[in-house]
Amino acid sequence: MCGPTGIGILYGRRSLLEEMPPFLGGGDMIKRVELRTFLPNELPHKFEAGTPSIAEAIGFGAAVDYLNNIGLDDIARQEHIIISYALERLEEIPGIKVYGPEAEQKGGVASFTLEGVHPHDVSQILDRDGVAVRAGHHCAMPLHMKLNLTATTRASFYLYNTIEEVDRLVDAIYKVKKIFRA
C-alpha cells in the first residue's frame, strides 16, 4: 500500500469483537482496574494495549489517502495493462515457464522459472542489472511442493511501474540466459 512497514488494518464484526476477551494487557486497553478484576476498554482500544505505533499509523493514513486520490480502479487498470504486457513478453522467452492464471484473473505478479537456471541465480543477476525481483517460495511452500518446484522467481508490478520496465526485465532475463548459456 506504499505505506510504512509493520502496520495494517484488521476488519472484525463489532458483535464478535465485543464478545472476544483482550489478548494483551497494557495501557489504554482497560477502563477500570480493581484488585481482582478489571473492565476492558471500548473497541478498538480493548485490543490495542500499550503505546501504539503512532508514526506508522499516521504514515498509513497518508498512504490510504494517496491511493484513494489516485483511485483504486485506476490502479487496478494500470496493473492489468502491465501484467498483460508482461505475460505476453515473458512467455515469448524460450525456456521460461510462467505460473498462475491468465492476465484477466491475475494481480500484478508473475512467478516464473527459467530452464537450467536456479531461481536464486536468476534474481541475483537481475538485481545486478537493476531489476529487483523476489526468489523463493513467496510464503507458498506447499504450493511449490505440489508443483514440484524448488523455488520460483517473481516479478511484481504496481502503479509506479511502466511498460519500459517490463522490457528491461525481459532484456535482463535474456542476459541471464546468455550467462548460463541456457
**How far apart are CB 126 and another protein at their closest, in Å?**
11
3-state secondary structure of 85: helix
Which span sits near another protein by CB under 8 A: 62-70, 73-81, 90-98, 112-120?
112-120
For the question of residue 2 being annotated catalytic, the response is: no
Among 13, 14, 36, 181, binds another protein (CB under 8 A): 181
Binding window for another protein (CB under 8 A); candidates: 3-11, 16-24, 86-94, 123-131: 123-131
In contact, 175 and 127? CB cutoff 8 Å: no
CB 102 within 8 A of CB 91: no
Which whole-number Å values give the CA distances from 31 to 20, 42, 68, 105, in the listed order?
A: 16, 8, 35, 47
Cβ 107 to another protein, closest distance in Å?
Answer: 25
- Find the binder of another protein among 106, 118, 134, 138 (CB under 8 A): 118
Examine residue 150 and tell whether it contacts another protein (CB under 8 A): yes
Catalytic residue among 139, 148, 164, 181: 139
C-alpha to C-alpha distance for 161 and 11, rounded to whole angstroms: 29
The residues, ordered by sequence, that sit 6+ positions from 99 with a Cβ below 8 Å of its Cβ are 111, 112, 113, 147, 152
Interface residues with another protein (CB under 8 A) are 116-118, 120-121, 124-125, 128, 135-136, 150-151, 175, 179-181
